[in-house]
Structure formats: C-alpha cells, structure tokens
Amino acid sequence: MTSRHSESQAIQIMISWGLEPLEPYKSNSAPWKCKCLKCGSISTPSLKSVENRSPENKFCRFCKANAPLNPEIAKKFMIDNGVKPLVPYPGSAAKWKSECLQCGKEVSPSYGSIKRGQGGCIYCAGMVVDPDEAAAFFQANDLKPLESYPGAGNPWRAIHAICGKVVTQTYSNIRSGHTGCKYCVGNILDEEKARAYFIARDLLPLEPYKNALSEWKSLHTVCGKVVTPRYNNVQQGSSGCMYCAGNAPIEASDAERLYLSKDLIPQEPFKNSSSPWKSIHIPCGTHVQPRYSEIRVGKLGCPVCSRTVVDPTKAEALARERGFDVLENYTNSSTPWRLRHLKCGRIVTPNYNSLQRGQGGCVYCAGNKIDVDEAVQLMHSRALIPLVPFPGSKTPWKSQHARCGREITPRYGEILRGGSGCIYCAKISVDPLEAERVFIDAGFEPLEPYPGSDRGWRSRHAVCGREITPRYNYVRRLGTGCPYCSQRKVDPQEAIHFVKARGFEPLADFPGTNSAWPMMHTECGKEIAPRFAALKNGGGCKYCSESAFDFEAPATLYLITNQQLCAHKIGIGHTDKSRIKQHISHGWEVFKTIDFPIGDDAFRVEQEVLTWLYDEFGLTAYLTNEDMPQGGYTETVDASEIDLPTIWKKVETLTN
C-alpha cells in the first residue's frame, strides 16, 4: 500500500500534533496506535484525520473540552468505588456489567450513576434483595414464608410462629422494624373478641364479622331496632344506634307535621332533609322551596316574608327613582336588568343590588365603559388622528399627532385624564433624528444609534477629538457634555504630566480629579495625597504651603452653609476659629464643628469627605473664586443636592 508520506515524515507530523507513534507507519488512512504527549492516553487516529484537524484539536481526543472519557480512567474510577468492570467501557450512561468487590454479586451500574454518588451495588444498597436472604430474614423475625419471595414492597404470605396466624407483610416493613403480625399488635381483631365487645354494649351481631371499618348488621337490644354500626366507631365511643342518638332518617309524616306548624303546605312528596321541598307559604301565598334542615333550625322558609327576595314593584320604583326607564320585567337582585338611563339615553344592564347600593347604574356616565364615537371625537379634539379601530381604554391606540406628524400609541384612558397623547411633544420620548441634531449642534458626532435619553451616547467631541458618552438630557439642557473640556474628567497622562511639572512625583495611578492621589513633593521629599482638583486650582504641598495652617497643631473641622449662595462647605482651621469667623463675615452659617488634636487628622477627614461627595453623589466644586473672595471655593457643593445632616453623618463615621 502506497502513501504520499514517508514514515519519517508521518512520524514528525504526528509528533507535531502531540501524538507519539507506538507502531510502524502503515498508510495515510490506516489507524495508527499513538500515545498522547499531554495526557498519556492511547488512541488510534489515522494520519489523514490528524492532518485535517483544526489547531485547537491538538493532542488526543481525550484532551478536548467535550472529549469522551478514557476507558482506563473510567475502569479505575469504578474499581475505586467498589465495583470491578467485567466488559469493556460502554459509555458513561450505559449499564456496565461489573462485580461488586464487597458482596461478590454481579451488578450493572452506569459510570454516570456512580459519578453522581448513587453507589454501584444494588444489593449492598438494599435496593434489591436476594430471595434466600429475604426468606432467612423473615424466619429470623418469627415469620415462615408460604410462597416465593414477591419483592421488597409486595405482600408476602407467612405464618407467624408465635400466634400461628397467617399474615401478609412486606419485606420492607419487616426491615423497618415492624413485628409483622397485625393480630399480635391489635390491628385486626378476631371475630370472638369483636362479638363479645358489641354484646357488652347492647349490640347483638346478626351476621359474621368482616373488619373494623365495615358496617356490621346488629340488633340494638335497648330499643329493638336493627342498625349497622362499624366496630371502629363503637370502639371510639359511639352508641351504635342512630335512632337512640337522633341521627335516624326522617319520617315523611314527621317532616310534613313540622312544615304545617310553620304555615308551609308541601306540594310534593318529601325527599330528604337537604333537598328543596316545594311548598306554599300560607300568610303570603308565595311558592317557596325551603329545605327541611333549614326549617328544623328555625328559619322562616319564605324569602319574601324574610325580605331576602325583592318585590318587583318595589324594584321598579327604585330604578325610576335612580333615573332609569324600565325596559324589561324584574328577575332578581343579582341578574342584569335592561334599563335606559334618562340622563344620557343609553341602554345599560345594572343589577338591583348595585342600584340599591347607590353605585349609579350607568357604566357610561361612570366612565367604566366607552362610547366609540365619543372616544374618536375626544382624540380629534386633542389633534390625535386614530389609525386603527378603538382597542379599549387601557390598550395603546395607534394614532398620528396632527401637530408634529409623528405616529404614536397613546391610551384613551390617559387622554381622558388630560394627557396630551404625544410623547415626543411632551418631551417624554425623543425622536432619534431630533436627538442627533441636538448633539451635532453641541459639537458632538454620534458613533452609534441613539440609545435613549437616560443612557450615555458614544460620541466624538469635535473640539478636543476625544470619544465620550454624554447623556442626551444633559447635552440638550446645557448645550455641552464633554467632561474633559469642562475639567470634570482628566486624561491620566495629562494629569501625570501636570503634577510632574508642578514638582510632584506620582506614587500611584491617577484615581480621578476628586480622589486623594499619593505622590511625593520632590522639593521637600515628603509624601502627600492631595486631590488633583485642588492642585489644578492652585493647591500644592501642605507642608511647604505658605498658608498659616499648621498640620502638627490642633485643628477644627467645620461644616458651614450659605443660603444666599445655595452652597455647603466643609473645611479646616485652627482651634481659635479665626477661619470660621472669616467665613461668617461673608454670610456663612455654622452647622457643626469638631476638634482634632492634630491638624493632619482634620485634613485627612476633610479630604475623605470630599472624595465621598464626588464618588457617591458626583458633586464637585460648586462655587468659584469670585463667589468666595476669602478662599475655599474648591470644598463647596450644591446645597440642593445633599443636606447638612447627611454630610455630618459621614464626618462622624470617619472620626469614630
């Protein structure tokens, strides 16, 4: 057989694919026994199949993510779990003929079931019982089997060696600790004991005993009537005689006598106590159907006289009083009644109960039902042109807004409550083309379809060329939205270049404009952590600063507010309160203060609060240098965005 590869070439190809040949090369398509250089498994791929593999299928088939299980690994796993395979590996889900290493029996668990922890031997697990072992177990529990073993859950006839009676108990019950004999535990009573028990309670059995739950025909010797009590009921305290207990069937003559005493004349034979009994109520002549059980407990039996039924004349009078014209005869209080509402002229079907409760009765006037013509007329009055038939008050109604020409889907119920109907004209939704025009006018070039007004829209700012994601609402309201140009965001490389030019060496990556940034002042060699925003606004090294603040001396942290400027400010100063007095002279009011033994601790808390205000609420310096000639504007925030107690609670958290 010829091949287009020499043996040496073929071997090199297999090795390049992670397979070491273990036998001479035969041909391009013949199976070739190889060892995987990655996992050591043995497989027999052909050279042709290997050459056709994709790069991710390097090494053997057992190394793939969804590779079949190595038979040798599967066999070892089975042995480790107490079963020795007797045939080659059939697959993880197939039964695998094996021998239990504990009991020696032949079983057929699957590799997958053992992998899931279900065990391997059904005999050792008690799922299957050997018939001889089951018989031996029965005999050990004083039960001699009378037939072949039927299975663990099936009744098995046997003789109880202690009492000699034949019983039918399951192997599972005996295994669970049951005695096996229902006679010895009192579950079944023999006839002699049962008969003696009945006679002792004045009941003479007239037929053989069946069981405790069957009716047992007997003579009650006290009253002489034949009854059929159950042994179980008598044992639980029943007298056994329904006549003496007052539970006997009702005689027709007794029932008729009771009805006549209540002014009711029966019109048909008596059936039973729970069935309606056609009768005539003598005082009013109404045909009624009261039940014997109701009359026996004292009910009147006539719904008209007891006012549970409404007189038709009274019902019609109430309908006219409520403003309706009666179009059909009254039926009952809960059935829809066809009436015409005199106010609007519409035909409606309220029931008497709703009229009596004062609920109006007209679904149109109450707004619960819509007249289609009126609905269309209302839509036209709001410059809305319906494009499809009326769908209902709560379903979107496809229409066109005559003013802007857009297709919209308002709900009639919203229009009825005063809604304009057009989500675009009401600025609830934004037309993508209009949104694009707003962005272009503000100097932004959108780079993706409009995502919605509350999501960032990936765009390029024509001024600085950066790619940003401003929100439509922000750009529409302010006409801008580039965080870099507004200095709300800084390019990390530009930030590093800036601080180095100021004589600082960063000790960590740029954290953001309002977060503490560890760095070293090259002039004094000390480590500090100023905010970039503070450096940008003229700040510097707190140790080299010419300010009068002494970081080693005691200090006061203060929270102040200015109602006229609508701003809050957090700051630090010496304990003589001179800095606070300076702010007070410019219209600021003190909310709270806290003293620190070391000024550096006060500075740390101040900076952490400012970082928190930025990270949690997005608040940056609210005022400008012109607003605060005394200085300190970089530590101000918009008072409408956060209240003073919330800021001070953060201060207390950082100081406790």
Which DSSP category does 491 fall into?
Answer: -
Q: What are residue 341's phi and psi, to 5 degrees?
A: -80, 115
3-state secondary structure of 105: coil
Q: Write down the pLDDT at residue 530.
A: 85
Task: Give the lowest-confidence range in 198-212, 238-252, 280-294, 637-651.
Answer: 238-252
Q: Please answer whether residues 457 and 470 qualify as being in contact, where contact means their C-beta atoms are separated by less than 8 angstroms.
A: yes
pTM here is 0.29
Report the Cα 354 to chain-centroid distance in Å: 40
| In the chain, domain spans | 7-63, 71-115, 131-175, 191-235, 252-296, 312-356, 372-416, 432-478, 547-656
Residues ≥6 apart with Cβ < 8 Å to 313: none
Q: Report the pLDDT averaged over residues 90-102.
A: 84
Selection from 580, 651, 565, 583 nearest residue 613 by Cα: 651
Q: Mind listing the pLDDT tens digit for each residue in 335-369?
A: 888 999 888 888 888 888 788 777 667 877 776 77
Among 446, 449, 495, CA closest to 470:
446
* Range 547-656: architecture per CATH: 3-Layer(aba) Sandwich (3.40)
Place of tokens 């073929």: 10
Q: Residue 3 — very low, low, confident or very high, per pLDDT cuts 50/70/90?
A: very low
Average pLDDT for 78-87: 89
Tell me which H or E stretch contains 134. Answer: helix 131-140
Looking at residue 640, the DSSP 8-state letter turns out to be T
Task: Decide if pLDDT at 2 tops 50.
Answer: no
pLDDT at 250 over 60: yes
| pLDDT at residue 487, rounded to an integer | 64
Q: What pLDDT digit, counting tens, does each position of 184-223 carry?
A: 655 566 788 888 889 998 999 999 988 777 899 999 998 8
pLDDT at 570 over 50: yes
Q: What is the pLDDT of residue 127?
A: 66
| Rounded average pLDDT over 301-325 | 80
Look at the block and give the residue holding tokens 């239990």. 100
Give the C-alpha distances (Å, rounded to integers) separating 175 from 158, 172, 199.
15, 5, 39
Virtual torsion, Cα 539, 542, 544, 550, nearest 10 deg: 130
In terms of average pLDDT, the best of 52-56, 61-65, 581-585 is 581-585
As a whole number, mean pLDDT of residues 10-28 equals 90
User: How much is the average pLDDT of 141-163?
Assistant: 85
CB count, 10 Å around CB of 31?
Answer: 14
Residue 462, strand partner residues:
none
On the question of pLDDT at 153 being above 70, the answer is yes
471-503: per-residue pLDDT in tens?
877 777 667 777 777 666 778 888 898 889 888
pLDDT for res 587: 93
Other CB atoms within a 10 A radius of the CB of residue 287 amount to 10
Percent share of the chain, pLDDT over 90: 17
E-strand spans in 261-396?
264-266, 279-281, 287-288, 324-326, 339-341, 347-348, 384-386
d(CA 556, CA 596): 6
